[in-house]
Amino acid sequence: MFEPTSNRSETGAQPEAGSGPRHVAIIMDGNGRWAQSRGRPRLFGHHAGAKRVREIVEACPDLGVEYLTIFAFSTENWKRTQTEVAGLMSLFRRYITSQARDLKDNGVRVRFIGDRVKLEKSLVRMMDDLEALTEDNTRVNLTVAINYGGRDEVARATKRLAQDVAAGRLDPESIDEETLPKYLDTCLLPDPDLVIRTSGEARISNFLLWQSAYAEYEFIETLWPDFSPDVFGEVVAGYAGRDRRFGGARNA
């Protein structure tokens, strides 16, 4: 029923040392500071940030990145002012409406992760429609996290897992570390190889907690609206030089 969730290739091998990241996840931080440094409202920064998303998605195939997952709105972001929250929700709508055709024509498969229950029904419909419109695309897999929190995701997954146990569909004795990922929002995605956070903050802020167990992290100073495809290329190139050992020893 579920596709494999691990980073491993279909042959079961781990990614080759020195090769590029197959799955990059990005915490797009710094929109507010970028706008404020220009004397503009925070939403101006979010709009500039949304423009960057498109360029970064387009840069993926040349960099060998098959999966890009971006953190657009966290379960904690509801604490922001009503103006900012409403502005972000309206930006997501505008983005979907204006980009749908282009994403479809450019081979981008779009998925959304996060709890949709708290989102407005009209936005959820647009998200569903965009997922359906792009479901046959294979050039780049773009996953957008909206109302997403890693702990919330694990809690929701655990609830469904417990329901399967209670209904006799899952034997508790069979549960191992391959089981929970099948219930996560990311069940169809490989784990991220590289997690990038922009704007100089060195925190993971509840993003892909389970999935990033063996990811490499890059915390870079650049504010998200300044994160150009060139900067992206440099970060991806830096990843290729890392020695990922997945808990094993360095090869002699």
Residues engaged in binding ligand FPP (CB under 6 A) = 28-33, 42, 46, 49-50, 53, 72, 77, 91-92, 95, 144, 199, 224
Rounded to the nearest whole angstrom, what is the least distance from the CB of residue 97 to ligand FPP in the complex? 11
Report the alpha-carbon distance of residue 152 to residue 29 in Å, rounded.
21
Closer of 86 and 162 to ligand FPP (Cβ): 86
Distances (CA, A) of 82 to 43, 59, 79, 88: 12, 34, 8, 10
Rounded to the nearest whole angstrom, what is the least distance from the CB of residue 215 to ligand FPP in the complex? 20
Rounded to the nearest whole angstrom, what is the least distance from the CB of residue 159 to ligand FPP in the complex? 26
Closer of 89 and 180 to ligand FPP (Cβ): 89
Rounded to the nearest whole angstrom, what is the least distance from the CB of residue 167 to ligand FPP in the complex? 36
The answer to whether residue 77 is catalytic is yes
Closer of 72 and 108 to ligand FPP (Cβ): 72
The residue annotated as part of the active site, out of 7, 62, 77, 226, is 77
Closer of 39 and 168 to ligand FPP (Cβ): 39
Residues 6+ apart with CB under 8 A from 140: 57, 60, 61, 65, 66, 67, 68, 106, 107, 108, 109
Question: Which residue sits closest to ligand FPP, CB atoms considered?
Answer: 32
Transcribe 130-162 into DSSP letters. Answer: HHHHTTT--SEEEEEEEEE-HHHHHHHHHHHHH
The answer to whether residue 206 is catalytic is no
Task: Name the residue among 217, 215, 225 with its Cα closest to residue 186.
Answer: 215
The residue annotated as part of the active site, out of 29, 185, 191, 193, is 29
Q: Is 205 helix (H, G, I), strand (E, B) or coil?
A: coil
Report the alpha-carbon distance of residue 188 to residue 5 in Å, rounded.
6
- Active-site residue numbers? 29, 77
